[in-house]
Structure 1
């Protein structure tokens, strides 16, 4: 069983379905409203846990009722939460998500997620060094991410860095991580003005660019390859990237090749977007195996 730690955000999603997004000063009527568990870190942790990994979470929540529910959800998914800290000075993180015709637009409020410090990451080095892979995203402070990269490099634990939402990271940290998984917008922020093909060639078998319904681009050391996405009718694309990252991490940690791991991640994401909610749609390994797209040679348990 792969052992994975996810360092990142833990939040509540407030989801609004609408036929029209309002312009400035405009009020429109929505179709539906719901709440769901979210945060890119928590989403990726849940995805990895449902797909068979032993998962630990590092993050920060408030001391509000939302925090009680967020921690309970992680525990119910079999995720170790002993390294999730509760703080009093900030509310738990949240996101407002509007969904129109299956596509989402998101406003993210970090809240307590911004309380994760570099000092605390340094204190957790003994826990980090026992992992097969560590995942981190951009919904926690840059200082914490850069310290995480430093610590994991020191103890020789590979890191999957998902640069979402888009912002820069030091060139040194980018060089040290094992995988970088931006979407096309995030790629442009990380590598402004550069051509995708050139940067992929610069980071073979490391840079994976997720391109939505097209699939995932990467360079295999010889050429740029596109691993096509599975064609499905999306209901809610919220959390698709998080599902891909968690699934890819499980597959690669279990010994699958990069291309096989991408196909595994693509399948998980395609199943997730056929249901509402960032976490509610994430498939289990058993659900994956029932899909006609599941490859028996993957042999995951």
Structure 2
């Protein structure tokens, strides 16, 4: 199975430890997919600063295909976070750095390259929404993470162009979650999923709802828990698992992810 994370890479700077870790929704997906034995790649924009160099070095060390990424002058994506009792708290960011200021465009070689993938994952902070119309011409299915602070306008800009959509709504009731999923499901969609923090997650396939309770354990760091869940769900679902089983696999993998510092380790002092 060939899959690709398209868009954002960042460093998460933990201010209370003076340590930065590589991350970003699209990069996390690519790294987690590789851990799950998929043939995984990443395509995005790296900055020229120390932060960008660190992420690029880690990607190379992991053996992740990064052959169609761009390297430009400027600040890499960077977020400032604080860890409180294992839970990460965001303090601010440079809003994607060069991923936002030098947005990715596709040339003929990129389009040929992307023909090879079964799934392409992106998200609200990937800064590649402008590529969605071009991606419709590819054989790959499109996965999109709407995160936890989406607007209705942002949903409508993407929902009819993606096969899989993920939303984080930790304060939503079960009834509210079901109503939300039913309201936003379109003919293009295959599965939409809402995670609700430590509460049960719901999926909807246009016909029925599926509910799975997360694996709860004392976390080391909750960073990228959602990214690990959606990655494991997608890899297992595309490999033939039914929706409930794939969600359970997602929960198990997310539980494991919460035992690792940063999104997937590789911290560096700054």
TM-score (normalizing by structure 1): 0.77
In 1, Cα distance between equivalents of 2:203 and 2:259: 25
Q: Does 1:104 align with 2:88?
A: yes
Contact kept? 1:12, 1:36, Cα under 8 Å:
yes
Which residue pairs with 2:14 in the alignment? 15
State the 1:258 CA deviation: 2.2
In 1, are the aligned partners of 2:45 and 2:104 still within 8 Å (CA)?
Answer: no
2:182 alignment counterpart: 201
1:135 aligns with 2:134: no
Cα separation, 2, equivalents of 1:130 and 1:237: 33
CA contact (8 A) 1:234 1:273 kept: yes
Change in CA separation of 1:258 and 1:205 when aligned onto 2, cut-off 3 Å: farther
Q: Count matched residues.
A: 256
* Distance in 2, Cα, partners of 1:165 & 1:59: 22
- Measured in 1, the distance between the counterparts of 2:107 and 2:202 equals 31
The answer as to whether partners of 2:171 and 2:196 remain within 8 angstroms in 1 is no
Per the alignment, residue 46 of structure 1 pairs with 31
Using the TM superposition, give the Cα deviation of residue 218 of structure 1 relative to its aligned residue in structure 2, in angstroms.
1.3
- C-alpha deviation, 1:123, in angstroms: 6.2
Q: Which secondary structure state, in structure 2, belongs to the residue aligned with residue 277 of structure 1? A: coil
User: Can you give the 5+ residue segments of structure 1 that lack an aligned partner in the other structure?
Assistant: 18-31, 188-193, 282-301
What is the Cα-based RMSD across aligned positions, in Å? Answer: 2.5
Change (3 A) 1:170 1:240: closer
Give the Cα–Cα distance (whole angstroms) in 2 for the partners of residues 166 and 248 of structure 1: 22
TM-score (normalizing by structure 2): 0.85
SS at structure 1 position matched to 2:42: strand
CA–CA separation in structure 2 for the residues paired with 1:137 and 1:239? 13
Partner of 1:286: none
Give 5+ residue unaligned stretches, structure 2. none
SS at match of 1:99: strand
How far 1:181 sits from its partner (Å)?
0.4
Contact 1:122 1:151 in 2 (8 A): no
What SS is found at the alignment partner of 2:136?
Answer: helix
Which has the higher Rg, Structure 1 or Structure 2?
A: 1
**1:102-251 matches, cutoff 5 A:** 102-106=86-90, 107-109=92-94, 110-117=96-103, 119-120=105-106, 124-141=110-127, 144-147=128-131, 149-164=132-147, 166-167=149-150, 168-169=153-154, 171=156, 173-184=158-169, 195-202=176-183, 203=185, 205-251=190-236
Q: Secondary structure at the match of 1:216?
A: strand
CA distance in 2, matches of 1:134, 1:116: 21
Contact 1:215 1:266 in 2 (8 A): no
- Aligned partner of residue 69 in structure 1, secondary structure: helix
1:126 CA drift (Å):
1.6
Bigger drift between 169-178 and 235-244 goes to 169-178
